[in-house]
Each structure stands twice: as C-alpha cells, then as structure tokens.
Amino acid sequence: MIKTVKPFGKVNGQETYLYTISNDFLTAEICDFGATLIRLYYDGVNVVCGYDSVDRYILNDSYMGAIVLPNANRIRDARFTLNGKEYHLRVNNGPNNLHSSLPGGSAQSIWNVVSYSETELTLQLDYKDGELGFPGNRSFKVTYALKDDRLSITYCRISDQDTVFNPTNHSYFNLNGHGTVLNHILQLNCSHTTPNDENSCPVGEIVEVAGTPFDFREPKAIGRDIDVENQQLEYGKGYDHNWLIDDFDGSLILAGELYSPETSIALQTYTTMPGIQVYTANYLDNDKYSPRDAVCLETQFTPDAINLDNMVKPIIKAGKPAVHITEYRLYKKES
Ligand code: BGC
C-alpha cells in the first residue's frame, strides 16, 4: 500500500499537495487544488489524462480531473429562478454559464483535507450565500475511496437554503494511457439523449437514440459514427452531449462501459444521478494532448435542468443533507 503526500506546486504562494491512495487493484493521486484526480493506475496503466505540476491546472479550462460543483455543465443565459427569486451567474461560455465558474470555482480552489487514510481521502469546500451566484451557505465534502476494483466518489452537501446541487468529476479517460480513444468501445444503458443548440446547451427535448450516431446501447467504437454528417455532432465538434440513463431511480446503477481492445481494460461507470455527459475531448489541444485523446464520462443531471420542467431538477432542500455517488470500476475483460 502507498500512502504519500507530496508537494505539487504553489498557487498564489500557497503550497498544494498530491495525496496518494491505493489498494491491491488501484492507485489514485489526488491534488487538493480542485480536488483533482491527477492519475489513476490500473494494471500498470494510468487511465486518466493529467499534468505533472499544479501550474497546468491553474487556468484549467478543460477542467481536467477536477471536481465541478455546485453545478456541472451549462445553465442557459447564466440565470435561473428558484422559489420565485432570480439568480445570476457568471457568463463564461457563449451566453451561458459552464461548470459554475472560472476562475474561482471548485476546480480552481484549494480544498481542505478533512481525513486521509491509505484508501480514502475526504476534502471539503465551503461557500457563503451568494458566492458563485448560487443561494445558501453551503458546505461540500467529496470523498475519493478505493473499494476493491472501484474508485468511488461521494459528493455530500448541506445548505441553509434551497439550492442547486449537480456535482461531477471531470476526468479524461484513456484506457491505453495515451493516443486516440476513437478505437475505444463504448456502451451506454441510455435510450434517450437531450439535443443541444449551437452553444452545446440542451434545448429541452428528449429524443430516442435509435437510428442516430448517439445509439451506444450496443457496444460501438467511439470513432465509428463521430464524423458522420449530423448537426448535433457538428455543434459539439464530436460527442459533447448528455444521455439519460435508463432505469434511473436515484440508486447506484450502471450507466455504461468503456473498453479498450488494445489493453483489455474495461471501465464501468455507476451513478446515482440521472444523466451522463460524454465528451470526446473535442477542445483539448495543447503540447500534451490532442482532440479525441480522451473521453469524459461525467455523471450529472441534465445540463440546464434547473430551467427545464421536463427534466429531473438538481434542487436540494434547506438543512437536508444531500448525497450523490459515482463509481468507476476497472477490470480486465476477456474478448
Ligand atoms: C463540456 C464541454 C467543455 C468541457 C471543458 C464539458 O463538460 O460539455 O463543452 O469544453 O467540459 O470545459
């Protein structure tokens, strides 16, 4: 077992740290800046993209590995109404708000480590009423825990006012450790998706995936249909869409599986939340990574659900603790 804490570089003069947790199956390295998953090793392969020092995460507009909350993904026109009051967020993605805020959001803050063991790390971040534009004095705790072949992420929140709670982890997976993911095989237990407008924000429709490039009910290479002529794929420059998970009931259920025939590594995603954003890293383009070198499997509520009456709304009640769980299970698949 490895349990180490190493400096990871300074942010505004304050040191950040990299915490390692491990068991017989998995080793994860998590930075307190952004509560970011920096590396995740399974069978000798680092299956998430990441960088070697915190500097690369400071203006992390790809949100690589970070915990995003209170609200993941987009809120149309950066505003919503709750209990008759209108709230305004930062406009940071076209006319919309994306991932709550940048800079200053959960992905760009140093979280407090509240407990740490060989297999578990819990981090906390608090916001005052109105901070980032959302109501409520809020306390968030995120626990990364290794449970056999699973990395479990538990998101807990308590607020003194009704507010929005739609957290995600924004890891970029590559089950070969490098190169394109177009050869990865994806399967999703999702019969419906929520089409976007040109700013990648859902328009409020729910459509069947049958007969479209969005049908991953049977396992299919990510690259098979990604470049077919399709307005939705043009809008996203590839997949950058939310699927509704079949049989969602708030319990921890299997959303789907990613598999690489090259390494035989498979990754299952379980969640208590209603949707999954599949994003094929279409805007990731720098000295280390190119577009489509990774796929994000962001478990979350439907983007903009707070403004859409036909979606499950990510609202939590004052004083009532709320919990969401996501688990990533890694295993070797016989082909
Ligand atoms: C969004 C993408 C965005 C990426 C990085 C994803 O969750 O859907 O449109 O480029 O995050 O911010």
Residue having the nearest C-alpha atom to atom 5 of ligand 1: 62
Distance (angstroms) between ligand 1 centre and the Cα of 315 equals 22
Residue ranges of the chain whose pLDDT lies below 50: none
**From the CA of 23, how far away is ligand 1's center (Å)?**
31
Question: Which residue's C-alpha comes closest to atom 2 of ligand 1?
Answer: 240
User: Rounded to 5 degrees, what are φ and ψ at 78?
Assistant: 55, 40
Residue 298 is a catalytic residue:
yes
Q: What is the pLDDT of residue 104?
A: 82
d(CA 15, CA 54): 9
Ligand 1 centroid to residue 35 C-alpha, Å? 18
Check: CB of residue 127 under 8 Å from CB of residue 138: yes
Per-residue model confidence (pLDDT) at position 1: 57
**Distance from C-alpha of 283 to C-alpha of 299, rounded to nearest angstrom:** 19
Report the 3 state secondary structure along the chain: CCCCEEEEEEECCEEEEEEEEECCCEEEEEECECCEEEEEEECCEECECCCCCCHHHHCCCCCCCCEECCECCEEHHHEEEECCEEEECCCCECCEEECCCCCCCHHHCECEEEEECCCEEEEEEEECCCHHHCCCCEEEEEEEEEECCEEEEEEEEEECCCEECECEECCEECCCCCCCCCCCEEEECCCEECCECCCCCECCCCEECCCCCCCCCCCEECCCCCCCCCHHHHHHCCCEEEEECCCCCCCCEEEEEEECCCCCEEEEEEECCCEEEEECCCCCCCCCCCCCCCEEEEEECCCCHHHCCCCCCCEECCCCCEEEEEEEEEEECCC
For a pocket test of ligand 1, which of 69, 90, 98 has the largest count of ligand atoms closer than 8 A to its C-beta? 98
83 alpha carbon – ligand 1 mean position (Å): 29
How far, in Å, CA of 273 to CA of 154, rounded? 12
Active-site choice (241, 298, 324, 327): 298
Nearest atom (ligand 1) to Cα of 61: 12
Per the listing, tokens 């392969």 go with 45
> Looking at residue 2, what is its pLDDT?
67
Q: Which residues line ligand 1 (CB under 6 A)?
A: 61-63, 73, 99, 200, 240, 277, 279, 283, 298
Record the tokens describing residue 287, joined without a space. Answer: 């000295």
- List all residues 6 or more positions away from 83 whose beta carbon is below 8 Å from its beta carbon: 162
Pairing of strands 36-42, 26-31: antiparallel
Query: Which residue owns the Cα nearest ligand 1 atom 3?
Result: 62
- Does residue 241 carry a catalytic annotation? no
**Average pLDDT, rounded, for the chain:** 97
